[in-house]
């Protein structure tokens, strides 16, 4: 049996970086039982005797959030041999607040005092031996960025596990509280193991419902305890919970005052504050935000991204496609097989790969914004607007990520504590046009609106509008009614983004996308090509008589009121469920477009048979809102943790898509239909 | 006076944290406790939420939440 | 002859992809890189 080391700490304490450095590539990602909180495990590098479990980033061990409950349960029932507590040295008091609670569980605690390099740069000092003495825990100074102290950390951890050294010093509360705790201790000391007695006693004093349930006290004991607490609450004129919290911080203030010297006085400005003064300035914040977003999209989609598209189209169409066709024909391969390879697989995969660069650049900037601390400010700026229609500013972050891809966006909704808000965010995030929907828009805009830049951008506007309207409407329903969730959120200091992490993140996303193109899209392209060139008796036939055509004709009438009732388009909406990129691939194969550049006259000629400008716009609207791709539906299922809610989301999205497209087409035809 | 009424730039001392349940606990867990000093940094561009400095770091909270925190100058 | 050869390669490759996709799904292989730690939602992972 390997020993278990739990890694605990505040969010933004650098815990994840430390975990990555400790475990390297041996990580295994799973879930805590029954909840959507992520559980990461891994062996210490090159040491199979010690498993490190990465606990969720938390501020406290209260019973109110899922992450905190998961952590408590693991510490009490998972019986780790050691807790490594990552503490942000630049934010000592609040980080140690968690430490005092960890110590109470009776498990030995080793403190990794992280970000020491930043602390020193600020000119602050911490007398580590003094702090260690006061807390009763060994402290190793670390910096995950420069990897300083990590070897020492591992060595000390292994040593502590082997020797099973005792726990740290518990926080001392004020005399009346301590007196009450002592009384409670006597009442419950037969019910819990001795090393966790302090923890249970404090939780009982705090009226912690989960602990009360677990202890299952007799009526008499429960009554005795209630009397003890009541008398303290009365004499101190405060609730038990806030007495404990107050005293805990008081205790810590005493310790840090002795060993933490700050160069800067409270109220003077650090560099981070000066940046913040401009970025979240009353007048500048919104213009800066829009400028940043515009800049990101200009670089990712327009300039640099567009440049790559030309190259990739040339690479797949002219170089790979044409030459393979020549080669296969030269060795005497039948036309249908050449067609399958070149017009099916290569054309399909190629049309999807063309916008990998756009996606990667987009993700690069989103990761950059997250890493440097701007994302939290965006939530801060936008909260007011979002609360108006029932969401919190935290919902804005998933929506922003949703412009890249709905899958990580839906997963990002995890940071929203309130379940109602989380569900609503998961439901509405796919309304924001993701990277994969862009080529669909680009294709149709290129064909019908080549000279108007605003048609493509209007998709973002329409998406945001739909989120707002849906938010207001859903909030009126019973399932989503209720008070807004609290918005008590840390705004981490700005810092230079860690380029390594940002680039890895970008590469990961790109890699997944390429992998998808090489697997699911390749198979789907081949399947679509076969379906569209063979009959039910597997004879090679004209597309008009193919299997695909007959399936398409069956469902096409559904879309006739929306203006795109041809079987070709009907098929594309179905294949779009696989991945939105397949819509483009489907058009490419079914319409025989191959790799035509946007704005090419042949494109308009072939697409023009299926759409007019109004039905093209209606189709774009339908694609924007309809049930997302399979991967996003999967992510929805995971975050909702309920089949019922997943179906509700899919039906809601598709219902909105159908209605919106219907309105656009019918009203559009009424207004402009005569001229077409 | 409550924290929601304090003006940007003002340094105040917390007297009492009111409210109940998860929100109150969260506020206190984040370090806003009786006797601690808080500086109101700024108000978000649209008037809400506010940003404060407490125990050496920046925290944002809505005015409705801040109104549960009694302070004095 | 060329038909059989090319057909074998193409359908063999497609079959292999499908087989691998099904197997990965069953085994629950995540596609997360260990390096993307700074962001809480960096990677798509399987959760059961």
* Residue A449 pLDDT greater than 80, yes or no: yes
- pLDDT tens, A580-603? 877 887 887 777 665 545 545 666
Q: Has residue A635 got a pLDDT over 90? A: no
Nearest by Cα to A431 from A394, A389, A468, A457: A468
Check residue A29 and give its pLDDT: 61
Taking the Cβ of residue A503 and every Cβ of chain B, the question of whether any pair is shorter than 8 Å is answered with no
Instruction: Give the largest CA-CA distance in chain B.
Output: 30
Total domains in the fold of chain B: 1
pLDDT of residue C31: 42
Q: Is A281 an interface residue toward B (CB < 8 Å)?
A: yes
**A410 pLDDT higher than 80:** yes
Burial of A427 (0-12, 13-18, 19+ CB in 10 A): buried
C14 contacts on A by Cβ (under 8 Å): 522-523, 526
How far is CA A500 from its chain centroid? Answer: 19
Q: Between A and B, how many residue pairs show a Cβ–Cβ distance under 8 A?
A: 134
Please tell me the distance from the alpha carbon of residue A341 to that of residue A55, in angstroms, as a whole number: 48
Chain C residues close to A646, C-beta within 8 Å: none
Do the chains contact at A500 and C35, CB–CB below 8 Å? Answer: yes
CA distance, residue B44 to nearest chain A CA (Å): 6
Q: How far apart are CA A190 and CA A194, in angstroms?
A: 8
Angle at A494 between CA A284 and CA A85, to 5 degrees: 145
Which whole number is the average pLDDT over A279-306? Answer: 82
A47 has which bridge partners? A44
Taking the C-alpha atoms of residue A217 and residue A295, their distance in angstroms, rounded to an integer, is 61
Q: Where are the domains of chain A?
A: 3-163, 175-261, 289-483+503-671
Interface touch A512/C44, C-beta < 8 Å: yes
Which residue from C20, C31, C36 is facing A505, i.e. has the nearest CB?
Answer: C36
Over residues B13-33, mean pLDDT? 89
Q: Do B58 and A491 touch (CB under 8 A)?
A: yes
- A512 interface with B at CB cutoff 8 Å: no
List CB contacts (< 8 A) between A385 and chain B: 46
- In A285-405, which ranges are continuous DSSP H helix? 285-297, 304-313, 322-330, 335-339, 347-353, 356-372, 374-388, 396-402
Is the predicted pLDDT of residue A675 greater than 70, yes or no? no
pLDDT at A203: 94
Q: Are A589 and A548 in contact (CB under 8 A)?
A: no
Sheet with A47-54: list strands edge to edge: A28-31, A38-44, A47-54, A3-9, A82-88, A109-114, A139-141
Cβ within 8 Å of C, A 311-370: 328, 331-334, 337, 340-341, 345, 367, 370
- The verdict on a CB contact (< 8 Å) between B27 and A241 is no
How far apart, in whole angstroms, are the C-alpha atoms of residue A457 and residue A478?
Answer: 34
What are the pLDDT digits (tens) for B55-69?
Answer: 989 999 999 889 999
Q: What is the pLDDT of residue A179?
A: 93
Would an 8 Å CB–CB cutoff place A500 in contact with chain B? Answer: no
What is the C-alpha radius of gyration for chain A, rounded to an integer number of angstroms? Answer: 30
Give the residue-averaged pLDDT of A542-568: 88
CA–CA separation, A5 and A86 (whole Å): 13
Q: What is the pLDDT of residue A250?
A: 93
Q: What are phi and psi of A31, to 5 degrees?
A: -130, 150
Residue A178 token pair:
């301590």
Distance of CA A26 to the CA centre of its chain: 22
Burial (0-12, 13-18, 19+ Cβ within 10 Å), A461: exposed
**CATH number (domain holding residue B61):** 2.30.30.90
Residue A197: Cβ within 10 Å count: 17
- What confidence score (pLDDT) does residue A556 get? 92
Helices (H) and strands (E) in chain A, counts: 33, 10
Is A486 an interface residue toward C (CB < 8 Å)?
Answer: no
Inter-chain contact A519–C17, Cβ cutoff 8 Å? yes
Quick check: A227 contacting B, CB < 8 Å?
Answer: no
Rg (CA), chain C: 17
A530 burial type by CB count under 10 A (0-12 exposed, 13-18 middle, 19+ buried): middle
Structure-token pair, residue A522: 């390749």
B42 inside 8 A of chain A by CB: yes
**Token duo for residue A521:** 């899209």
CB-based contact A606:A591 (threshold 8 Å) = yes
**Closest Cα of chain B to A548: distance in Å?**
53
On whether any CB of chain B is under 8 Å from the CB of A100, the answer is no
The DSSP symbol for B18 reads -
**DSSP track, chain C:** -HHHHHHHHHHHHHHHHHHHHHHHHHHT-----TT--SSTT-S-----
Contact indicator for A587, A593 with CB cutoff of 8 Å: yes
- Could you give the angle at which helices A522-533 and A567-575 cross, rounded to 10 degrees? 160
Asked if the ipTM is above 0.90, the reply is yes
pLDDT at A428: 93
| A3-163: in CATH 3.40.50.300 | yes
Sheet architecture: strand order including B37-43: A489-491, B57-61, B50-54, B37-43, B11-17, B69-72
**Percentage above 90 pLDDT, chain A:** 28
Q: Any residues with CB less than 8 A from the CB of A631 and at least 6 apart, and which? A: A406, A407, A516, A579, C44
What confidence tens digit (pLDDT) does each residue in A171-224 have? 899 999 999 999 999 999 888 888 889 999 999 999 888 898 888 888 899 999
Contact A460, A621 (CB under 8 A): no
Tokens of A76: 């009490």
- Token reading at B26: 């969260």
Q: Does chain B touch chain C (at least 3 C-beta pairs within 8 Å)?
A: no
A23 → chain C, closest CA residue: C34
Note whether B39 contacts A385, CB cutoff 8 Å: no
Please determine, for residue C40, whether its predicted confidence score (pLDDT) is greater than 50: no
Task: List the one residue out of A270, A260, A266, A250 whose CA is nearest residue A89.
Answer: A260
CA distances from B13 to A238, A250, B18, B69, B72 (A): 17, 14, 15, 10, 5
A558-586 tens-digit pLDDT: 999 999 988 888 888 888 887 787 788 78
Closest CA to A98 of A260, A207, A208, A249: A249
Q: What pLDDT does A493 receive?
A: 84
Q: Residue A31: its pLDDT value, please? A: 60
What phi and psi, each to the nearest 5 degrees, are found at residue A590? -65, -40
Q: Which stretch of A96-100, A254-258, A531-535 has the lowest confidence by average pLDDT?
A: A531-535
Please check whether residue B40 is in contact with residue A475, taking contact to mean a CB–CB distance below 8 angstroms: no
Alpha carbon distance B13, B34 (integer Å): 8
d(CA A85, CA A99): 7
What is chain B's Cα-based Rg? 11
| Helical spans, DSSP H, in A237-270 | 240-259
Cβ pairs A/C, distance under 8 A: 111
Dihedral (CA of C28, C31, C36, C42) sign: negative
Token readout for A75 is: 């510490």
pLDDT score for A595? 52
The verdict on a CB contact (< 8 Å) between A23 and C1 is no
Share of chain A above pLDDT 70, in %: 93
**Burial bucket for residue A237 (CB in 10 Å: 0-12, 13-18, 19+):** exposed
Distances (CA, A) of A55 to A30, A39, A98, A542: 12, 7, 13, 59
Tell me, which fold does domain A175-261 have in CATH? Helix Hairpins (1.10.287)
User: Chains contacting C with at least 3 CB pairs below 8 Å?
Assistant: A
Q: Whole-angstrom Cα distance, residue A667 to residue A6?
A: 60
Identify from A7, A19, A20 which residue to disrupt to test chain C contact, counting C C-beta atoms within 10 A and taking the largest count: A20
For chain B, say whether A262 makes contact (Cβ under 8 Å).
yes
Contact list, B36 vs chain A (CB under 8 Å):
249, 253
Name residues whose C-beta falls within 8 Å of residue A601's C-beta, 6 or more positions apart in sequence: none
Domain containing residue B20: 3-72
SS3 A86: strand
CB B69 within 8 A of CB B12: no
pLDDT level of residue A255 (50, 70, 90 thresholds):
very high
What is the rounded distance in angstroms from the CA atom of residue A345 to the CA atom of residue A337? 11
């Amino acid at each position: 049996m390997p020993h278990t080391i739990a890694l605990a700490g505040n969010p933004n304490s650098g815990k994840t970086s430390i975990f990555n450095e400790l475990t390297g590539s041996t990580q295994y990602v799973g879930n805590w039982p029954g909840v959507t909180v992520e559980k990461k495990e891994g062996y210490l590098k090159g040491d199979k005797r010690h498993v490190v479990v990465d606990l969720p980033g938390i501020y406290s061990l209260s019973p109110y959030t899922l992450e905190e409950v998961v952590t408590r349960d693991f510490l009490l029932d998972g019986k780790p041999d050691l807790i490594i507590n990552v503490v942000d040295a630049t934010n000592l008091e609040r980080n140690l607040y968690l430490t005092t609670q960890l110590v109470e569980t009776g498990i030995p605690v080793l403190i990794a005092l992280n970000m020491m390099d930043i602390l020193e740069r600020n000119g602050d000092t911490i007398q580590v031996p003094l702090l260690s003495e006061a807390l009763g825990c060994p402290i190793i100074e670390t910096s995950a960025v420069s990897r300083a102290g990590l070897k020492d950390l591992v060595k000390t951890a292994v040593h502590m596990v082997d020797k099973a050294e005792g726990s740290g010093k518990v926080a001392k509360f004020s005399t009346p509280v301590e007196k009450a705790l002592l009384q409670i201790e006597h009442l419950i000391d037969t019910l819990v193991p001795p090393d966790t007695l302090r923890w249970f006693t404090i939780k009982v004093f705090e009226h912690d419902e989960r602990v009360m349930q677990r202890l299952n006290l007799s009526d008499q004991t429960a009554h005795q305890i209630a009397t003890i607490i009541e008398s303290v609450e009365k004499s101190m004129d405060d609730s038990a919970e806030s007495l404990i919290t107050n005293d805990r911080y008081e205790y810590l203030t005493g310790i840090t005052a002795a060993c933490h010297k700050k160069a800067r006085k409270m109220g003077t400005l650090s560099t981070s504050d000066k940046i913040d003064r401009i970025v979240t300035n009353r007048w500048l914040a919104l213009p800066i935000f829009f400028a940043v977003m515009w800049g990101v999209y200009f670089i990712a989609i327009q300039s640099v991204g567009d440049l790559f598209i030309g190259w990739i189209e040339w690479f797949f169409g002219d170089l790979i496609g044409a030459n393979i066709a020549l080669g296969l024909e030269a060795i005497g391969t039948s036309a249908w097989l050449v067609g399958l390879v070149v017009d099916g697989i290569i054309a399909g995969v190629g049309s999807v790969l063309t916008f990998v660069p756009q996606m990667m650049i987009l993700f690069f900037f989103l990761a950059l914004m997250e890493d440097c601390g701007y994302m939290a400010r965006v939530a801060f700026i936008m909260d007011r607007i979002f609360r108006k229609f029932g969401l919190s500013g935290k919902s804005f972050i998933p929506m922003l990520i949703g412009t890249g891809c709905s899958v990580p966006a839906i997963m990002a909704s995890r940071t929203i504590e309130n379940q109602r808000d989380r569900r609503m965010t998961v439901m509405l995030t796919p309304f924001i046009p993701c990277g994969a929907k862009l080529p669909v828009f680009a294709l149709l805009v290129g064909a019908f609106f080549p000279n108007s830049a605003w048609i493509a951008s209007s998709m973002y506007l329409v998406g945001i509008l739909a989120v707002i309207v849906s938010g207001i409407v859903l909030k009126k329903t019973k399932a989503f009614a209720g008070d807004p969730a609290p918005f008590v959120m840390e705004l981490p200091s700005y810092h230079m983004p860690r380029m390594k992490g940002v680039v890895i993140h970008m590469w990961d996303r790109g890699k997944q996308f390429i992998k998808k193109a090489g697997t699911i899209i390749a198979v789907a392209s081949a399947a679509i090509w076969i379906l569209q060139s063979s009959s039910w008796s597997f004879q090679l036939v004209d597309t008009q008589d193919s299997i695909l055509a007959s399936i398409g004709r069956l469902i096409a009438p559904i879309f006739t009121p929306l203006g795109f009732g041809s079987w070709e388009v009907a098929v594309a909406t179905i294949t779009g469920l696989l991945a939105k990129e397949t819509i483009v691939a489907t058009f490419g194969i079914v319409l025989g477009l191959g790799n035509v550049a946007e704005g090419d006259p042949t494109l308009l000629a072939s697409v023009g048979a299926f759409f007019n400008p109004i039905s093209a716009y209606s189709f774009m609207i339908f694609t924007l809102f309809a049930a997302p791709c399979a991967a996003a539906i999967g992510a929805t299922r995971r975050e909702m943790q309920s089949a019922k809610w997943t179906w509700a989301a899919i039906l809601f999205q598709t219902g909105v898509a159908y209605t919106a497209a219907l309105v656009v087409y019918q009203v559009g035809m009424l207004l402009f239909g005569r001229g077409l | 006076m409550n924290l929601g009424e304090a003006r940007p730039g003002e340094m105040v001392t917390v007297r009492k944290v009111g409210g109940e349940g998860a929100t109150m606990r969260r506020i206190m867990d984040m370090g806003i406790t009786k006797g601690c000093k808080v500086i109101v940094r700024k108000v978000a561009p649209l008037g809400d939420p506010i940003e404060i400095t407490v125990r050496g770091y920046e925290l944002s909270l809505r005015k409705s939440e801040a109104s549960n925190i009694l302070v004095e100058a | 002859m060329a038909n059989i050869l090319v057909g074998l390669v193409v359908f063999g490759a497609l079959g292999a992809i499908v087989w691998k996709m099904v197997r990965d799904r069953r085994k629950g292989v995540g596609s997360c890189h260990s390096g993307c730690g700074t962001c809480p939602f960096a990677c798509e992972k399987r959760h059961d």
